[in-house]
Amino acid sequence: MATVSSTGLGSGLDVSSIVNQLVALERQPITQLQTAAKGIQTKISAYGQITSLTNTLRDASAKLAGSSLWQQSSASSDSTALKVSGSGSAAAGSYTVSVQQLARAHSLASPAQASAEAVMGSGQLALTVGGSTTTLSFSEADTTLADIRDAINASAAGVSAAIVSDVNGARLTLTSRQSGLAQAMTLSATDLSGGAASGPFASLGYPGGMVETQAAANARATVNGLAVESASNQLDGAIPGLSLNLQAVTSTPAEISVSSDSSSQKAAVQAFADAYNALNNYLRTQTRYDDSTSTAGTLQGDSTAVGVLSRMRGMLRESSSASARFGRLADLGFDVQKDGTIKLDNAKLDTALAQPAELAKLFGASGSSGDSASQGLALRMRKLADSLTGYDGQLSARSDGLRSRLNRNGDEQDRLETRVSQIQARLLRQYQALDASMSQLNGLSSYVTQQITALNKSSSG
């Protein structure tokens, strides 16, 4: 605020003091607005901190609700013979696996021909694979070995055909596209009318002209001493939740271990509790009246802040039907204190961590549409945090409202500052004019006094 420093020109009138005091009275509404602005800014800062703490809780909740945290990890002692995958829902433990035989596809080879362009003649081939028969007709007398290969590959017979040349010539090789005993092939070579084939074409039958180069076979293994068999080298279901990829026959049993990272899981639970406690403590401090210091929190009586604290605390008491083993956070060792904070019972939590699949449900189950009771508790907390901090959430709306109030306050201060400046200038002009008038009157008074004195002296003389 500008101050006036001019003094009376001779009247003795303290113009600056008078104007400054009058202007100070006019500035009182501005001072009140400045005090109010500081209070609003303090609330905006408080809501910024609440939003930050809520986002931290949101992230901690999202981690607990995520499936990756609770997935089991698996390892094989002999990855060259046996690989393991898909261990998310497998029960923790150790398994002994021995591989006696790998699954194989059926392979056949025809008698040698001069070349891939050797003429085989006309006829029909009936290929039976896995109980399904595909019949191919070759009506041209000049059908070549390559033509037969191409026709088989273009069909849906489930057979891969190729021509391989060795020292004796070109051979048609057939391999079933899938492994296992059930995929063994048979071929019937006939003439176009279904009678016996003649010439080179007749050599394409099996059993008959073609020879077996690899017998079809199922994979055979034992898991914890129990025999298992599969048409492929991928064993699914032998160990629930695990997929065993057989790579080679084992000379000694391979050990498979399935375990969960309980230390990371426990750290995630602790991070959730810490994030919740930080938000609870801040909200509690900001919304209460401290009798010991006779000090009110910045947000005492603020319905939004009080409501957020109430909703967060209420969430801890909710239950979920997602898990058959756990229903509430209290079942995991969450002990809610009088001040609303969480204290973890580590012994109880360690016991619960032995069942990661159930914890995954309790925390992260998506549940049924419209049935919040079937949803995971951490998922619900994450959704609540999202709803509070989102574009149109309570925290965002409250912060926006406070910023609007602060802007209006600033506009009003600017308006009043302009008004006070105008009043100050007007008062200065008025009191300077008064000062000048009083100075003239003082001069006239002095002159009159001098004249009277002179007259008195003249009369007495």
Pairing mode, strands 211-214 and 219-223: unpaired
Q: 188 with 112, same domain?
A: yes
Q: What are phi and psi of 363, to 5 degrees?
A: -90, -40
Is residue 392 in some structural domain? no
| Residue-by-residue pLDDT tens, the chain, 461 positions | 555 455 544 556 777 888 788 878 888 988 898 888 999 898 999 999 999 999 999 999 999 999 888 887 788 888 888 898 876 667 778 899 999 999 999 999 999 999 999 998 888 888 999 889 999 998 888 889 999 999 999 998 999 999 999 999 999 999 999 999 999 999 988 888 777 788 888 888 889 889 999 999 999 999 999 999 999 999 888 888 888 899 999 999 999 888 888 899 999 999 999 999 999 999 999 999 888 888 898 889 989 999 999 999 998 899 999 888 999 999 999 999 999 999 999 999 999 998 888 999 999 988 776 777 889 999 999 999 999 998 888 899 999 999 999 899 899 888 988 888 888 888 788 777 776 766 666 666 666 677 677 777 777 65
Q: What share of the chain is helix, strand, coil (3-state, %, to 5)?
A: 45, 20, 30
Lookup: tokens for 344: 């973890």
Instruction: Judge contact between 105 and 178, C-beta under 8 A.
Output: yes
Beta bridge partners of 108: 174, 212
Predicted confidence at residue 283, as pLDDT, reads 94
Could you tell me which residues come within 8 angstroms of residue 299 by beta carbon, excluding any fewer than 6 positions away?
43, 46, 283, 286, 287, 305, 306
Is residue 237 in some structural domain? yes
Is residue 78 in some structural domain? yes
Lookup: tokens for 377: 């508790």
Is residue 20 in some structural domain? no
Q: 97 with 226, same domain?
A: yes
What is the C-alpha separation between 274 and 268, in angstroms, rounded? Answer: 10
Q: 111 with 180, same domain?
A: yes
What is the C-alpha separation between 219 and 22, in angstroms, rounded? Answer: 102
Q: 223 with 99, same domain?
A: yes
Is residue 226 in some structural domain? yes
Neighbours of 61 (CB within 10 A): 29
Instruction: Judge contact between 123 and 136, C-beta under 8 A.
Output: no
Is residue 92 in some structural domain? yes
Predicted confidence at residue 160, as pLDDT, reads 93
Structural domains counted in the chain: 2
Predicted confidence at residue 455, as pLDDT, reads 73
Q: Which of 214, 230, 247 delimits the end of a domain?
A: 214
Q: 129 with 182, same domain?
A: yes
Q: Is the peptide bond before 207 cis (omega within 30 degrees of 0)?
A: yes
Q: 116 with 205, same domain?
A: yes
What is the C-alpha separation between 91 and 260, in angstroms, rounded? Answer: 9
148 is in which domain, residue-wise?
107-214
Is residue 23 in some structural domain? no
Predicted confidence at residue 8, as pLDDT, reads 47
Instruction: Judge contact between 297 and 289, C-beta under 8 A.
Output: yes
Q: 111 with 252, same domain?
A: no
Beta bridge partners of 127: 134, 187
Predicted confidence at residue 447, as pLDDT, reads 65
Is residue 269 in some structural domain? no
Neighbours of 80 (CB within 10 A): 10
Q: 115 with 162, same domain?
A: yes
Predicted confidence at residue 123, as pLDDT, reads 87
Q: 185 with 142, same domain?
A: yes
Q: Scan for tokens 């009586």, then name that residue.
A: 301
Q: Which of 214, 229, 244 delimits the end of a domain?
A: 214
Q: What are phi and psi of 189, to 5 degrees?
A: -105, 120
Q: Is the peptide bond before 200 cis (omega within 30 degrees of 0)?
A: no
Q: Which of 182, 214, 246 delimits the end of a domain?
A: 214
Q: 96 with 174, same domain?
A: no
Q: 195 with 225, same domain?
A: no
Q: Is 212 in a helix, a strand, or coil?
A: strand
Instruction: Judge contact between 88 and 69, C-beta under 8 A.
Output: no
Q: 78 with 176, same domain?
A: no
Predicted confidence at residue 75, as pLDDT, reads 82
**Hey, CA dihedral for 9, 14, 17, 19, is it positive or negative?**
negative
